Amino acid sequence: MKERISALLKREPQQEIVAAEGWVRTKRDSKNVCFLEINDGSCLKGLQVVIDKEKLSDPTVLNAITTGCSVICKGPIVASAGGNQTVEMASTDVTIIGECPVDTYPLQKKRHTIEYLREIAHLRARTNMFGAIARVRNTLSYAVHSFFQEQGFMYVNTPIISASDAEGAGEQFLVTTLDLDKLPRTEEGAIDYSKDFFGREAFLTVSGQLEGETYAMAMKNIYTFGPTFRAENSNTKRHLSEFWMVEPEMAFCNIEGDMEVAEAFLKYLFKAVLEKCPEDMAFFSKFVEAGMEETLRTIVDTPFAHLTYTQAIEELEKHNDKFEFPVSWGSDLQSEHEKFLTEVICKRPVIVTDYPKEIKAFYMKLNEDGKTVRGMDVLVPRLGEIIGGSEREADLDVLTKRMEELKLNPEDYWWYLDLRRFGSAPHAGFGLGFERLVQYVTGVANIRDVIPYPRAPKLADF
Ligand code: 4AD
Ligand code: MG
């Protein structure tokens, strides 16, 4: 394979002629020399190519080189006289592969706002910021797999089109091929989904958990990592309609084991990104969130705080005058409360447990008090909830009763309930919002900037 610019930059100066392929970020011309900076996405830094015009057979080719055009430059890697890099390429062989007209190319040398770049999402990976985000995202994906694979978890692919509502919250996108102008009706006048593609109602999945549980009840420890969809009308900096979720599920595991894995997992991911993306992380610390690397290093070395929901509410109630939505026992925690708990009260990541059953999903194990469930959310500064999980209700009768209370039809979940009929075992798991993770480690304020093509209410461009 041809060497990428990241590898060329690590070479010692030598005579061998090598090729660099990439896109021109900048061009500086003087009378006798022309300097190009070429980037190929392999690292933040570009390769400086110095072209001695007198040695070119046809120096006019250089006129067509502009920001954004693609080139192949050949020459030896030499020690650089400039202060910004140790090596550079001395080239006398430059080929323009694709020109890039200056008057219409939307990415000029100047700094663009992140909002403007969102409108040209198909080109934004060519900027320093979005290149760095893409590399960090890639490193984190790989680390997700290595963490679980190293511990013997099996990667399971759960369906994207699903017949059941895993969260029971009714926030699903319908998948249909029915003609919306001529909907088939039953005698009672309802839409007749038996005429639809799948012969029944089907949706984009909100979570792979329920199907994941079926595999955990055979393979013991599994994880999923795939896209999930929520038709929730949340126009915030931390919600997407399509996001990627990592969901481990472990049989013979209770909430304590679940929390242990969640904490070890996050720390592993933070460490991986510090070790594998030092240049990009330094960039985020400098331009996006001051001291991000140091913050992550501290988190890796410090145990997470723990609070029950009831303790959290007691703490928050003392500060109710500071909140847009004051809290009392039973309130769902909003992002302002989550941030206050982790930033002000605990000053580190905190795991909140034992939430009132009314504000959590049907599958969470009911505590002996009959009021709270064995759910756990991991909250981090600046963002709030990054992980949501629980021990699952393993008792058939309790689970069926919970579903009925929540107006879910147990018959629709017959296969899920079978897990409690046939060899039930305590089990637990959690979901990490992958974009929230990328958002957290990079310090990027808006979740729409950490996924290549964000989907949100009224937004599905590209
Ligand atoms: O808390 P949630 O809804 O939990 C579940 O879906 C469970 N089935 C997980 C499990 O136990 N296996 O979602 C889990 C995580 C949240 O903590 C958050 O990080 C992320 O997914 N998340 C979102 N990320 C971006 N946009 C949204 N709309 C999100 N909703 C949840
Ligand atoms: Mg949640």
Which protein residues have their CB within 5 A of the ion that is ligand 2?
Answer: 388
Atom 27 of ligand 1: nearest residue by CA position = 239
For the Cβ of 211 lying below 6 angstroms from any atom of ligand 1, the answer is no
Neighbour-count burial of 190, counting CB atoms closer than 10 A to its CB (0-12 exposed, 13-18 middle, 19+ buried): exposed
Q: Residue 244 C-alpha to ligand 1 middle, in angstroms?
A: 9
Q: Determine the average pLDDT of the residues in 110-118.
A: 91
pLDDT at 132: 98
β-strands 350-356, 305-308 pairing:
parallel
Ligand 1 lined by 440 (C-beta under 6 Å): no
Token digits for 435?
């974009």
Beta-bridge partners for 28: 35
- Cβ 433 under 6 angstroms from ligand 1: yes
When pLDDT is cut at 50, 70 and 90, the band that residue 44 belongs to is very high
Amino acid at 458: K
> Tokens 């997700």 correspond to what residue?
144
Q: How wide is the angle at C-alpha 286 spanned by C-alphas 281 and 287, nearest 5°?
A: 100
In this predicted structure, the answer to whether residue 431 has a pLDDT above a threshold of 90 is yes
CA of 256 to the centre of ligand 2 (A): 18
Residue 84 pLDDT: 84
For the stretch 254-273, pLDDT in tens is 999 999 999 999 999 999 99
* pTM higher than 0.95: yes
What strands, in cross-sheet order, belong to the sheet with 427-433? Answer: 154-155, 221-229, 242-251, 427-433, 384-391, 372-380, 350-356, 305-308
Q: What is the 3-state secondary structure (H, E, C) of the chain?
A: CCCCHHHHCCCCCCCCEEEEEEEEEEEEECCCEEEEEEECCCCCCCEEEEEEHHHCCCHHHHHHCCCCCEEEEEEEEEECCCCCCCEEEEECEEEEEECCCCCCCCCCCCCCCHHHHHHCCCCHHHCHHHHHHHHHHHHHHHHHHHHHHHCCCEECCCCCEECCCCCCCCCCCECCCCCCCCCCECCCCCECHHHCCCCCCCEECCCCHHHHHHHHHHHCEEEEEEEEECCCCCCCCCCCCEEEEEEEEEECCCHHHHHHHHHHHHHHHHHHHHHHCHHHHHHHHHHCCCCHHHHHHHHHHCCCEEEEHHHHHHHHHCCHHHCCCCCCCCCCCCHHHHHHHHHHHHCCCEEEEEEEHHHCCCCECECCCCCEEEEEEEEECCCEEEEEEEEECCCHHHHHHHHHHCCCCHHHHHHHHHHHHCCCCCEEEEEEEHHHHHHHHHCCCCHHHCCCCCCECCECCC
Task: Note the pLDDT of residue 151.
Answer: 97
Digit-coded pLDDT (tens) for 407-417 = 999 999 999 99
Q: Using the atom order of ligand 1, give the atom closest to the CA of residue 389.
A: 11
Q: What is the pLDDT of residue 2?
A: 87
Burial of 445: CB neighbours in 10 Å, binned 0-12, 13-18, 19+: middle
389 lines ligand 1 (CB under 6 A): yes
Least Cα distance to 160 among 215, 196, 203, 200 occurs for 203
Give the pLDDT score at 418.
98
426 lines ligand 1 (CB under 6 A): no
Name the band, by pLDDT with cuts 50, 70 and 90, for residue 316.
very high
Q: Is any atom of ligand 1 closer than 6 Å to the C-beta of 166?
A: yes
Tell me the pLDDT band of 125, cut-offs 50, 70 and 90: very high
User: In the predicted model, is pLDDT for residue 230 greater than 90?
Assistant: yes
User: Which atom number of ligand 1 is nearest to the Cα of residue 232?
Assistant: 28
Atom of ligand 1 nearest to the CA of 390: 11
**Which ligand has the minimum distance to the alpha carbon of residue 378?**
1
pLDDT at 57: 79
- pLDDT above 90: residue 342: yes
pLDDT value at residue 59:
82
Ligand nearest to the CA of 392: 1
Answer yes or no: is the C-beta of 454 below 6 A from any ligand 1 atom. no
The DSSP bridge pattern shows strands 384-391 and 221-229 to be unpaired
Residue 327: predicted pLDDT = 97
> CA-to-CA distance for 138 and 272, rounded, in angstroms?
11
The gap between the terminal CA atoms of the chain, to the nearest Å, is 31
Which of 254, 436, 446, 451 has most ligand 1 atoms within 8 Å of its beta carbon, as the pocket-test mutant?
A: 436
CA–centroid distance, residue 432 to ligand 1 (Å): 6
Q: Is the pLDDT of residue 292 over 90?
A: yes
Angle at the Cα of 140 from the Cα atoms of 138 and 145, rounded to 5 degrees: 100
- Compute the distance from residue 446 Cα to the ligand 2 centre, in Å: 19
For residue 349, what pLDDT band results from cuts at 50, 70 and 90?
very high
Residue 249, C-beta contacts closer than 8 angstroms, at least 6 positions apart: 209, 212, 213, 215, 216, 221, 222, 223, 224, 427, 428, 429
Residue 56 scores a pLDDT above 90: no
Q: Residue 109: pLDDT above 90?
A: no
What average pLDDT is seen over the chain? 96
